[in-house]
């Protein structure tokens, strides 16, 4: 049987290869498992993920005209509730794929919907917890880019910091333009507040690189402990790999790194490199793990199961061999989650320590038990990293 898979991909000026890497991650996973020839991909573009009516129309076209068996929508959670009734009525699978920088208004699962991500907000939450537990005074400063502050990952970090006894003292939001980027307000603050030495930081892409350059003299002057968001750690890792020899010491949780020792990561690295002639990154890993879900969906179809809600339920009972170690589909939320790593970089990237997060299942349960404040609905509408 030929499986027809619709894929609605975003575009990104920050990461131009984002959509292609996700798609190639999916394809390399299927090829590695010898089923690529049994899958037809139907692709379309949804820009930055802002136009919800357009996304709905394109998803509907995939079902009506293209007769897709499932549709992958690479977009943030704000579109999920709009699409769910459509897919339930068609008895088709909606596979939402994103970085996980958002937090849903509620965690109630749709019967034919799976949300797959790299769990960035969970990792930000763990980093906030770590900062609170390691601070002697329990006082912390926050700095974040104007862009990164528009996603709920910042709430995850700040709220967790407070839940674990931390006391936020100041939040400095940096400018989007490099010529107007500055950390000078923090210099004045740390001069006057010598009992605050924890700085929690949320940055991505170019803004993360600017931060790494600007914060080093502050860390040296004030002996700061830096706690980094997942995409800041990702950018810092790329910075060191590119040969930069200056940067701060920092730590935090992130989803994946190339050197993880597990069978899933080895398979992903080899298969993606063989197909694309380049090493996989975060977006490829996100796609690869989506491919694992597609494989199991296909197995259910082959077995004769035609009820998509029952298929989704069956997929929740498995542990998937992910490049991150393992991946599970939570039966209570229909969100995927996987291990993450505590990364500790020394000054100038001279050394890196890696520790897997302990008690991840318990951390996930606590994370999904929280209720996002109902009066806090501001934020960017575009898909994270898609501007």
Convert 215-237 to b/e letters by CB count within 10 Å (16 or more is b): bbebbeebebbbbbbbbbbbbbb
Does 64 lie in the same domain as 12? yes
What is the spatial distance between Cα 205 and Cα 232, in angstroms, rounded to a whole number? Answer: 8
Does 263 lie in the same domain as 245? no
Residue 358, domain member (yes or no): yes
Domain coverage including residue 165: 122-254+340-369
Q: Report the SS3 class of residue 348.
A: helix
Does 153 lie in the same domain as 10? no
Q: Domain boundary residue among 292, 317, 337?
A: 337
Does 69 lie in the same domain as 23? yes
Residue 148, domain member (yes or no): yes
Residue 384, domain member (yes or no): no
Residue 137, domain member (yes or no): yes
Q: Supply 127's token pair.
A: 């980093």
Does 359 lie in the same domain as 238? yes
Residue 75, domain member (yes or no): yes
Does 355 lie in the same domain as 214? yes
Give the number of residues written for the chain.
Answer: 387
Residue 365, domain member (yes or no): yes
Q: Supply 319's token pair.
A: 């542990």
Q: Supply 191's token pair.
A: 């001069």
Does 153 lie in the same domain as 289? no
Residue 230, domain member (yes or no): yes
Tens of pLDDT along the chain (387 residues) come to: 799 999 999 999 999 999 999 999 999 999 999 987 899 999 999 999 999 999 999 999 999 999 999 999 999 999 999 999 999 999 999 999 999 999 999 999 999 999 999 999 999 999 999 999 999 999 999 999 999 999 999 999 999 999 999 999 999 999 999 999 999 999 999 999 999 999 999 999 999 999 999 999 999 999 999 999 999 999 999 999 999 889 999 999 999 999 999 999 999 999 999 999 999 999 999 999 999 999 999 999 999 999 999 999 999 989 999 999 999 999 999 999 999 999 999 999 999 999 999 999 999 999 999 888 876 666 788 999 998
Does 250 lie in the same domain as 156? yes
Does 107 lie in the same domain as 17? yes
CATH code of 35's domain = 3.40.50.2300
Torsion of CA 105, 109, 112, 115, to 10 degrees: 60
Q: Tokens 């040969």 label which residue? A: 243
299-304, long-range: CB within 8 Å, 24+ apart, which pairs?
301/1, 301/3, 301/69, 302/1
Sheet containing strand 113-117, strands side by side: 39-45, 3-9, 70-74, 93-98, 113-117
Q: How many domains does the chain have?
A: 2
Taking alpha carbons only, the member of 163, 20, 7 closest to residue 74 is 7
Does 130 lie in the same domain as 90? no
Q: What ranges in the chain are assigned the alpha helix state H?
A: 18-32, 52-64, 80-90, 120-134, 153-163, 184-192, 205-222, 230-241, 263-276, 282-302, 308-315, 360-369
Sequence-separated (6 or more) residues with CB below 8 Å from residue 133:
164, 165
Does 227 lie in the same domain as 364? yes
Taking alpha carbons only, the member of 46, 43, 114, 41 closest to residue 77 is 114
Residue 378, domain member (yes or no): no
Does 312 lie in the same domain as 174? no
DSSP 335: B
């Amino acid at each position: 049987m030929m499986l027809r898979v619709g894929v609605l991909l975003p575009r990104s000026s920050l990461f131009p290869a984002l959509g292609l890497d996700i798609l190639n991650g999916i394809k390399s996973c299927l090829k590695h498992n010898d089923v690529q020839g049994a899958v037809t991909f139907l692709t379309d573009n949804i820009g930055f993920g802002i136009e919800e009516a357009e996304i709905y129309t394109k998803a509907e076209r995939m079902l009506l005209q293209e007769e897709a068996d499932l549709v992958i929508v690479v977009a943030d959670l704000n579109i999920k509730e709009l699409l769910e009734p459509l897919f339930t009525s068609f008895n088709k699978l909606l596979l939402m794929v994103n970085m996980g920088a958002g937090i849903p208004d509620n965690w109630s699962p749709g019967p034919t919907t799976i949300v797959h991500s790299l769990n960035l907000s969970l990792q930000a939450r763990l980093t906030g917890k770590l900062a609170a537990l390691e601070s002697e005074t329990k006082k912390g400063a926050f700095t974040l880019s104007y862009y990164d502050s528009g996603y709920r990952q910042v709430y995850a970090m700040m709220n967790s910091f407070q839940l674990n006894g931390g006391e936020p003292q100041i939040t400095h939001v940096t400018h989007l333009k490099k010529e107007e980027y500055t950390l000078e307000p923090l210099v004045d603050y740390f001069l006057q507040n010598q009992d605050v030495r924890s700085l929690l930081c949320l940055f991505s892409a170019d803004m993360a690189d600017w931060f790494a350059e600007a914060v080093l003299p502050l860390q040296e002057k004030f002996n700061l402990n830096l706690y980094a968001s997942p995409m800041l750690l990702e950018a810092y890792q790329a910075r060191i790999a590119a040969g930069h020899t200056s940067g701060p010491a920092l730590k935090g949780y992130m989803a994946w790194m190339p050197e993880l020792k597990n069978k899933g990561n080895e398979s992903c690295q080899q298969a993606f490199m063989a197909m694309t002639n380049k090493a996989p990154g975060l977006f490829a890993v996100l796609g690869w793990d989506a491919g694992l879900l597609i494989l199991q969906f296909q197995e259910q179809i082959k077995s004769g199961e035609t009820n998509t809600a029952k298929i989704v339920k069956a997929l929740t009972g498995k542990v998937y061999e992910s490049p991150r170690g393992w991946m599970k589909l939570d039966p209570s939320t229909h969100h995927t989650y996987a291990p993450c790593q505590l990364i500790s970089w020394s000054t100038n990237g001279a050394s890196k320590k890696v520790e897997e997060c302990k008690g991840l299942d318990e951390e996930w349960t606590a994370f999904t038990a929280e209720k996002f404040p109902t009066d806090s609905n501001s934020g960017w509408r575009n898909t994270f990293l898609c501007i």
